[in-house]
Structure 1
């Protein structure tokens, strides 16, 4: 692959990230399809989920790499996608394979600096059957006031920390993590809301899967996330049980960096409505292996504090609130480390994972 200046692949805004990604995709000879979001970005600019495909329209094997499912986490995923394209990844594709990059799956969240979408929905909790009863999260109910405080004074935040510590002492650290991140379907203005119907990004992704992957026999999907785990360390997250063929295929590919949310040891809780579920649903008759790739950023207490502050801002005036600039920086810093060593670490780990997929497809 070609050596590049990695700093030129990572960006300081959604608009810059989109421009760099599209330039890299076109330079690599990709076919680009854009799914325009109905709402504008900052300044009235168009925002979109952009798909770059390298390879024939009908192939046996597909590797798909997604970014920005959790909006602001797109700073990480977009940078990695753009770097791999600029390095010349396309030149090493085996025959009968296509590479599909899905950029900014939640473009509104990326553009506006939120983890959620335009409906305050956590997209990674939205891919479930909304006609059926929604999952309960009694732990969230118990700490609702802590996660959604009336103000952000130090006294209020300290009280919240004490309440969460008490919850963890009573129920355990894993229960606290699930209460915090397991999603909820009762409080539309609250943190971790999974929605009560499919949102725009849900429908757009289904269309992308049907358009780009319908003719393939084997599909591997890597969705890049950030915010959980040790700084710069990647974990492959599967929502399938360890006995499931999907988990076993992922484990055969990448070894012990793969963890199931159904077992102990993952940085993530087992959450309903994950993006991996839509790939299993839409490609149920194919050999599909979807997973998340989670990179650590900062300490979990800082991530949690940023999410609390961001949702508080959403409920108290948004960008019109004088506290907006500081909170926007706080949430970006929680999910994106603007440091050369971190960018190199996350890119190198993804590069190695992609190389193993290419080698595996060549051998089949």
Structure 2
């Protein structure tokens, strides 16, 4: 299957394949380089790897692709990086375009097949401008079911636990609230072993990325950032999600991108894309900066599907911190978690590549990135 060359089974395999692509980039950007930094101790060998290249003549456009902010989602992100390297490098104009391709913002999470960091931090709720305002806070949705969201004992009988959790979630939340828990949950900043934990300071992966980000964009007129995720949005669709820092409406974005599955994300404390886009706008107000989150959907939108998502987050977190009595229950929880964030079905992986191509085309075309041709189409773009 075509997807086999894009998707990996382990963090180490994915990283090795990514690092090997330096020689491919050097064909077009002789100044290309591999930049690596460790998260945690060097002995643990969890690294964020960046393939960096700068425009050869005029620093006009900078393409940034980040992956693995939610560790387990890095496998889908790595596939998109491979797609980009194979199909887009040969048609991008290196004279005016630079790039930063980032593999595994959260390498510990990717290695251990968890969404969060080693400190149980959801990095997409960790980009806080004023920590004094959020530290110790808990949102209403979390407080309502805190004893379920913060594990206190090992998983007993999983079948029974699933039934009880499904009933509790159905009784405690509206369908709209469950959809929010699936797609845009608020962070909580009190319970370190609970789900949706945003931390009490910048976690190391967030600190190291944000400190580099403004340096990347400062020399370019037009930074374009694509951040790759999986698990949210409609099943088997790619949603392109823009921040509130983008002044355009959803309808305008759909028209300009010629793409249907577009949305504006609600403003949520700690959102990384909103934080980074606003940081560029404040520091460099003359730059035209775009940030877009790619969300590859895995689960449907029915009530049962919405319950499955939050229930799986609860069970996986409980398994990590407290364990489970039975091996078969551990394996089932891990299968549910993979279904939610990294489905192994070839059909799903194939459509990631197909829809990823359409999403990248939509962004690059609407942002007028100079290309020799458009991958996956018979069309070409005019010079800009």
- TM-score, scaled to structure 1: 0.85
Residue 325 of structure 1 deviates from its aligned partner by 4.8
Q: 1:328 to 1:275 in 2, by over 3 A?
A: same
Q: Are the counterparts in 2 of residues 209 and 282 from structure 1 also a CA contact under 8 Å?
A: no
1:140-191 CA-partner distances (Å, limit 9, x unpaired):
10012233454353333322211211123xxx32223435622211211100
Conserved 8 A contact 2:71-2:115: yes
Compute the displacement of 1:198 (Å).
0.3
> Per-residue displacement from partner, 1:281-302 (whole Å, max 9, x unpaired)?
4312222111211111134443
Partner of 1:156: 161
Aligned length in residues: 345
In structure 2, the partner of 1:123 is 123
Q: Quote the Cα distance in structure 2 between the aligned partners of 1:254 and 1:152.
A: 50
User: For 1:42-61, what aligned pairs fall within 5 Å after superposition?
Assistant: 46-56=45-55, 59-61=59-61
Alignment of 1:193-232 (within 5 A): 193-232=197-236
> How does 1:263-302 map onto structure 2 within 5 Å?
270-284=267-281, 285=284, 286-298=287-299, 299-302=305-308
Equivalence for 2:4? 7
Rg comparison, structure with higher value? 2
The correspondence of residues 177-196 of structure 1 with structure 2, limited to 5 A, is: 177-178=179-180, 181-196=185-200
Out of 16, 20, 42, the residue aligned to residue 19 of structure 1 is 16
User: CA contact under 8 A between 1:10 and 1:80: conserved in structure 2?
Assistant: no
Q: Per-residue CA shift, 1:4-59, capped at 9, x if unaligned?
A: 9431121001111111111124323242111111246xxx6512111112442761
Contact 1:28 1:88 in 2 (8 A): no
Contact 2:338 2:344 in 1 (8 A): no
The match for 1:361 among 366, 369, 381 is 369
The residue number in structure 2 matching 1:315 is: 321
Structure 1 position 328, deviation (Å): 3.4
Pair 1:157–1:329, CA change in 2 (3 A): closer
> Is the CA contact 1:138–1:179 (under 8 Å) kept in the aligned structure 2?
no
* Corresponding position: 1:331 with 2:337: yes
Q: 2:244·2:274 contact (CA, 8 Å) conserved in 1?
A: no
CA drift at 1:310:
1.6
Which residue is 1:108 aligned to? 108
CA shift, 1:317, in A, is 5.0
Q: State the 1:249 CA deviation.
A: 7.7
The 1:62/1:246 distance shift into structure 2, 3 A limit, reads: farther
Instruction: Give yes or no for the alignment of 1:132 onto 2:149.
Output: no
| 2:19 is aligned with 1:28 | no
Question: Residue 257 of structure 2 aligns with which residue?
Answer: 253
In structure 2, distance between residues paired with 1:226 and 1:337: 10
- Contact 1:26–1:32 (CA<8 Å) still a contact in 2? no
1:68–1:106 contact (8 Å) kept in structure 2 = yes
Contact 2:166 2:311 in 1 (8 A): no
Preserved contact between residue 188 and residue 196 of structure 2 (Cα < 8 Å): yes
Which residue, 142, 145, 149 being the options, matches 1:143? 145
Q: Normalization by structure 2: what TM-score?
A: 0.81
4+ residue segments displaced more than 4 Å? 245-251, 320-326
> Which residue of structure 2 lines up, in the alignment, with residue 265 of structure 1?
none
What is the deviation of 1:254?
4.8
Of 170, 175, 179, the match for 1:165:
170
Distance apart, 1:259 and its partner CA: 0.4
- 8 Å contact kept, 2:71–2:116: yes
Is 145-154 or 252-261 further displaced after alignment? 145-154
1:325 to 1:162, Cα distance in 2 relative to 1, 3 A: closer
**Partners in 1 of 2:181 and 2:364 — Cα distance?**
38
Q: Which stretch shows the higher mean deviation, 326-335 or 12-21?
A: 326-335
Q: Deviations over 1:260-315 (max 9, x none)?
A: 123xxxxxxx5321111232243122221112111111344433333112210222
Pick aligned residue for 1:303 from 303, 309, 315: 309
Q: Which residue of 2 aligns with 1:37?
A: 39
